[in-house]
Amino acid sequence: MTTTIYHNPACGTSRNTLALIRNSGEEPIVIEYLQHPPSREILIQLINDAGLTVREAIRQKGTPYAELGLDDPELTDEHLLDAMLTHPILINRPFVVTSKGTRLCRPSEVVLDILQNTQQGSFTKEDGEVVINAEGQRVAPAK
Cα dist from 46 to 42, 96, 113, 129, 138, whole Å: 6, 9, 16, 28, 26
d(CA 12, CA 40): 26
Active-site residue (options: 11, 20, 58, 104): 11
Question: Which DSSP string do the residues of 18-65 spell out, in sequence order?
Answer: HHHHHHTT---EEEETTTSPPPHHHHHHHHHHTT--TGGGB--TTSST
Does the active-site annotation cover 105? no
Residue of 121, 89, 108, 96 lying closest to 28 (CA atoms): 96
8-state DSSP, 81: H
> Annotated active-site positions, please?
11
